Structure 1
Amino acid sequence: MGLTSNTTLLLAVLSAVLLFIGTVWLWPRLARGSWRAVSGRVGLLLATQLTLFLAVGLAANQAFGFYASWADLFGRETDQGVVVDHAKGIGSSGPLQVVGTHGVKDVGGARPQSGGQIQEVAIAGRTTGIATPAYVYLPPEYFQSRYRTRTFPATVVLTGYPGTAKALVEKLRYPRVAAQLARSGRMQPMILVMLRPTVAPPRDTECADVPGGPQTESFFARDLPDAVSTHYRVDERPGSWGVIGNSTGGYCALKLAIHHPEVYAAGAGLSAYYNAPVDPTTGDLFHGDKALRDRANLWWSLRHLPAPDTSLLVTSSKAGETNYKDTLKFIERVKDNGRTRISSIILESGGHNFNTWRREIPAAVQWMGERLHRERK
């Protein structure tokens, strides 16, 4: 029986109820001081609590889609995602400050010339006033003398909400994936700028310019590329920036690529949704402004705004993700759009969790590298 099966949940609930009834029924008979009676009471209590815990866990998993299968739960789902195209017919003052550096785990050794480097940075938006921490991955070529004048494409990597930028490095392993892809010749060397979209914590701004509040979309569209380009050797030609994210970060990635194709030549949304929610974590994002609310709706944007000259990648799974049907519809909507290119990664199963995204990231990062300008000297 599958992890998300209603039968599995029903059996777990029924077992918990029967064990509870059995405990109440047998308790008087076990109310003695012998070791057998004590062992019986302990066994009944443990069994009841374990089945209750299992039932609650299964119910929560069905509600929130954390894991799609038993293999997914225990980390045994290892098949990599495959991209399917749907084509038609080092330190200075300024907006970015480096506050720490370290190597990339399990890649090329400690020297940045061989393994690259991860820099912890603080970024301050010149026009929005937004300040946020981030991690920047620099490939080994960035430090090699023969490439000292070369510029590199850059990709912004976003977490979900609330998320932590550190998880992009340690849990989702973006730097290691990028380094391995480049070393094997499957992707050009690329700078990664890793941060969370929650730039005004604890508020979830959904990468929107909130009236009278955080101008998050403007920060990602203008301030962030400006700060990074001022500090690092980033290719300044159009088509040199991409953006990728999971969950809320995935929605933001698609939104930024659709709204700002002049900045982001490609946007990849892993387990993304397609319209900004309004809930207790977001507060009032639009203050009654219908134009802002419409703009935050990617369905509306694709139908009413000029078709953006950008490339999009969406991911989902047939079992375990609640966005599967919407993702298929989104693909069709983009295919009807004209200038916008759309690709997808669709897994057979995979919940809304790190294990699923780790299976999709290698293919998604390679896809991204193929759509950004080649680095130049």
Structure 2
Amino acid sequence: MGLTSETTVYVMAALAAVCVGLLVWSWPRFARQGLRQVLGRLLAIGTTQVVMIAAFACWLNSSYQFFGSWGELFGRVETAPVGVTQAGDDGGTGTVNGAAVKGAPVQPAGDEQLSRVSGLPTGPAAVNGRVESVKVIGRRTGVVDPAFVYLPPQYFQKAYQRQRFPVIVALSGYPGSIFNLAQHLRVSQTAGALQKSGLMQPTVMVMIRPTIAPPRDTECVNVPGGPQTETFLARDLPDALKSAYRVGHDASAWGVMGYSSGGSCALQLTMRDPHVYTTAAALSPDYRVKDDPTTGSLFGSGPDRTERMNGHDLMWRLKHLPVPQVSVLVAESKHGERGYPQTQAFIKAVKAPMRVASILPEHGSHNFPTWVQEVPPALKWMNQQLTFPQDAVPRHHKKGAAVAEPTPTATMRR
């Protein structure tokens, strides 16, 4: 039984009901005086409570996909096999539609609960677009991470067959999953509706989790001697996507967004790696990475620890380091979320050439209903920052010469 399957939930619920029934049936026997009876009462109550909590946890995890498998729950993470470091020989223009070459950095994956997501495009891909379930294999880090990739209708249309597309990477919070991004945050559904209505240019949306070593929260940090999350998201992921999809190669076509710790990660990546991501939208983020019980020691020890910590303190970076030429959006509710003062301080600290925008509703909470309201304006804002790639996929002739196709500029936005 899979951790997220309905069978597991039903079995745990039935087991909890049996424990409650046994407790009621056996209670008269434990009502007598004596040490054995007292210990029996404590054991019966404790066992029943543990099973009930486990049943509730299984239901909650099945609904929100915090952990996708038993292996993730107990820290057993899939790693890449040796030799999966090379892309195909197609010049980086192939797709994973149908059958990827063995060892490619982006490969077709299992369902990953995609079938449970409502509102996904159906019918002809050239009319409605498509969402693919894939796994991304990090060439440098050896990380294997599941992802959902939304491809807009134009991606499959003849007029765009040699055109590259801008990319927005959407990151889940901790210990969230790509299911949360697709079902609860409705990233691809919202982007598809905006693009269909002309409020957003055709854009590839990549939904991925930054939790590459579950159950540990690595906060998009390259942990000394541990998971290299920043390298995976800032180097492995873009390289993999560029090798498998027709996406822009210049940073001006790349943005990253996220909620909660995923929003913190989006800011970190954009300010620390502006040569990769030039635009970020952060919903309810933190502005400084610090150790806590879920992260363990993120910065190691020794004389370089303070320097590494400062490097992930965005307020410190704005004060002491050159400001990158990037655009960021931050969202925080004035009432109902605790991070509003820190968000205001961050906004005031930003200086040219960096640009900052904000979504500051009067009321909200640190939850999906609030973030769902913020996603449409965040995506429309990102659309205005990202450029539609003007580089076309080269057409290879028999003698090896490459000729770029004309760009179909009639329907593009810069």
Q: Give the structure-2-normalised TM-score.
A: 0.67
Letter of the structure 2 residue corresponding to residue 261 of structure 1: P
**CA deviation vs aligned residue, 1:78-123 (integer Å, no higher than 9, x gap):** xxxxxxxxxxxx3233111022587985466422111111111111
How far has the Cα of 1:265 moved from its partner?
1.0
Compared CA separation, residues 299 and 272, structure 1 to 2 (3 A): same
Contact residue 153 and residue 240 of structure 1 kept, 8 A: yes
Task: Provide the rounded CA distance (Å) in 1 between the counterparts of 2:253 and 2:369.
Answer: 29
How far has the Cα of 1:129 moved from its partner?
1.4
1:221-300 superposed matches below 5 A: 221-288=234-301, 289-300=305-316
1:323-342 superposed matches below 5 A: 323-334=339-350, 337-342=351-356
Task: Provide the rounded CA distance (Å) in 2 between the counterparts of 1:105 and 1:137.
Answer: 14
For 1:111, the equivalent position in structure 2 comes to 124
Report SS of the residue matched to 1:317.
Answer: coil
For 1:33, the equivalent position in structure 2 comes to none
Compared CA separation, residues 270 and 159, structure 1 to 2 (3 A): same
Segments of 5+ residues of structure 1 without an aligned counterpart are 1-89
Segments of 5+ residues of structure 2 without an aligned counterpart are 1-94, 391-406, 408-414
1:116-265 superposed matches below 5 A: 116-265=129-278
How far has the Cα of 1:132 moved from its partner?
0.8
Task: Provide the rounded CA distance (Å) in 2 between the counterparts of 1:149 and 1:313.
Answer: 31
Matched, 1:367 2:367: no
Report SS of the residue matched to 1:299.
Answer: helix
State the identity %.
Answer: 46
Task: Provide the rounded CA distance (Å) in 1 between the counterparts of 2:345 and 2:119.
Answer: 40
For 1:309, the equivalent position in structure 2 comes to 325
How far has the Cα of 1:283 moved from its partner?
0.3
Report SS of the residue matched to 1:135.
Answer: strand
Higher mean C-alpha displacement, 92-101 vs 204-213: 92-101
Contact residue 113 and residue 142 of structure 1 kept, 8 A: yes
Count of residues in Structure 1 that have an aligned counterpart in Structure 2: 286
Letter of the structure 2 residue corresponding to residue 311 of structure 1: S
1:96 aligned to which of 84, 106, 114: 106
Letter of the structure 1 residue corresponding to residue 333 of structure 2: S
Contact residue 275 and residue 297 of structure 1 kept, 8 A: yes
Task: Provide the rounded CA distance (Å) in 1 between the counterparts of 2:135 and 2:371.
Answer: 26
Contact residue 173 and residue 209 of structure 2 kept, 8 A: yes
For 1:67, the equivalent position in structure 2 comes to none
For 1:322, the equivalent position in structure 2 comes to 338
Task: Provide the rounded CA distance (Å) in 2 between the counterparts of 1:305 and 1:200.
Answer: 30
Contact residue 250 and residue 389 of structure 2 kept, 8 A: no
Contact residue 105 and residue 136 of structure 2 kept, 8 A: yes
Task: Provide the rounded CA distance (Å) in 1 between the counterparts of 2:316 and 2:119.
Answer: 44
Considering only aligned residues, what root-mean-square deviation do their CA atoms show, in Å? Answer: 1.5
Q: Give the structure-1-normalised TM-score.
A: 0.73
- The answer to which structure, 1 or 2, has the higher relative contact order (CA under 8 A, 6+ apart) is 1
Contact residue 108 and residue 114 of structure 1 kept, 8 A: no
Contact residue 120 and residue 188 of structure 2 kept, 8 A: no
Contact residue 229 and residue 236 of structure 1 kept, 8 A: yes
Letter of the structure 2 residue corresponding to residue 97 of structure 1: Q
Letter of the structure 1 residue corresponding to residue 371 of structure 2: W
Task: Provide the rounded CA distance (Å) in 2 between the counterparts of 1:296 and 1:262.
Answer: 17
Contact residue 107 and residue 115 of structure 1 kept, 8 A: no
Report SS of the residue matched to 1:221.
Answer: helix
Contact residue 152 and residue 191 of structure 1 kept, 8 A: yes
Task: Provide the rounded CA distance (Å) in 2 between the counterparts of 1:106 and 1:130.
Answer: 30
Contact residue 100 and residue 119 of structure 1 kept, 8 A: no
**CA deviation vs aligned residue, 1:112-156 (integer Å, no higher than 9, x gap):** 111111111111111111111111111111111221111100011
How far has the Cα of 1:300 moved from its partner?
1.0
Compared CA separation, residues 107 and 197, structure 1 to 2 (3 A): closer
Task: Provide the rounded CA distance (Å) in 1 between the counterparts of 2:158 and 2:106.
Answer: 24
Matched, 1:353 2:363: no
Report SS of the residue matched to 2:246.
Answer: coil
How far has the Cα of 1:238 moved from its partner?
3.0
How far has the Cα of 1:370 moved from its partner?
1.2
Compared CA separation, residues 119 and 307, structure 1 to 2 (3 A): same
Task: Provide the rounded CA distance (Å) in 2 between the counterparts of 1:365 and 1:325.
Answer: 24
